[in-house]
Amino acid sequence: MQIHVVDAFTDRPFAGNPAGVCLLDTEDWPEDAWMQRVAAEMNYSETAFARRLPDGDGADWEIRWFAPLVETNLCGHATLATAHTLRRERGLVGALRFRSRFSGILTAHAHEDGSITLDFPAAPCTESPVPAGLLEALGVKPEAVFRTGALGDLLTVLPDEAAVRAVAPDLDAMADVTRREGLRGVIITAPAPSPGLDYDFVSRFFSPAEGILEDPVTGSAHTALAPYWSERIGRNELTGLQLSARTGMVRTAVHGDRVHLTGHAVTILDGVLNV
């Protein structure tokens, strides 16, 4: 069985967010425990598994995502990586429809310049009290904290880009907070330092309870970030810069209750699973 490693939300190798991609040629899913072991072996923030659906099923492929420790509800960069792999390996073009267990139908549109646009549900934010232990975990006092509904994250707003860059979280304490609050992870964000840059806001994402210490580029987090900053900046189309060591850019467009996420992807490894 083939497996691929794809750097998503970048147009150059060794940047963006790496994901494992496994295209299954079976009608049924393998055992969940097997997919979880593969994801743990790959040890990327997410590994995507996709299987072809019968014609007339309302979608082309079904997709699932596994972090090293758990199956996840939604993953942007691994979906982008899967769409890129299907185009590269199977010659698929145009729109691809993915059925997901928890997030409905997700569509990926391939463009002539090699980029891919994902159509994901928006994650509206609701202002929240600061959970106990969050200040100690972050080491900085946020200006505001929001919950992102079904996405399951805390969106934590800091005053500026420098503050986002400087955060050195206590990941054990953060894992305790997210487990206690029933959350996936913590997004920290701030506006770009000035207008006219090639990005409008910055972010970082941590999900230590799921085995993701700091995620390089988090597409799903931008389903909350894009509506949040769109409302405050006053534009529907914005670009986010994720300030991980690898960095990555996510172009976003808010369309009502949907968010479009656009980026490139690069395959860096093709391999074979011998199990």
Task: Supply the residues annotated as catalytic.
Answer: 46
Residue 13 to residues 5, 69, 110, 204, Cα–Cα distance (Å): 11, 26, 19, 20
Q: End-to-end CA distance of the chain, in Å?
A: 8
Q: What's the rounded Cα separation, in Å, for the pair 221 and 217?
A: 9
Spatial contact of 204 and 242, defined as CB atoms under 8 Å apart: yes
Q: What's the rounded Cα separation, in Å, for the pair 109 and 132?
A: 41
For tokens 């939300």, what's the residue? 9
Q: Which amino acid is at 91?
A: G
Contacts of residue 211, Cβ cutoff 8 Å, sequence gap at least 6: 40, 67, 68, 69, 70
Residue 45 to residues 8, 42, 186, Cα–Cα distance (Å): 12, 9, 15
Pairing of strands 104-110, 116-121: antiparallel
Q: What's the rounded Cα separation, in Å, for the pair 169 and 206?
A: 9
DSSP for residue 210: G
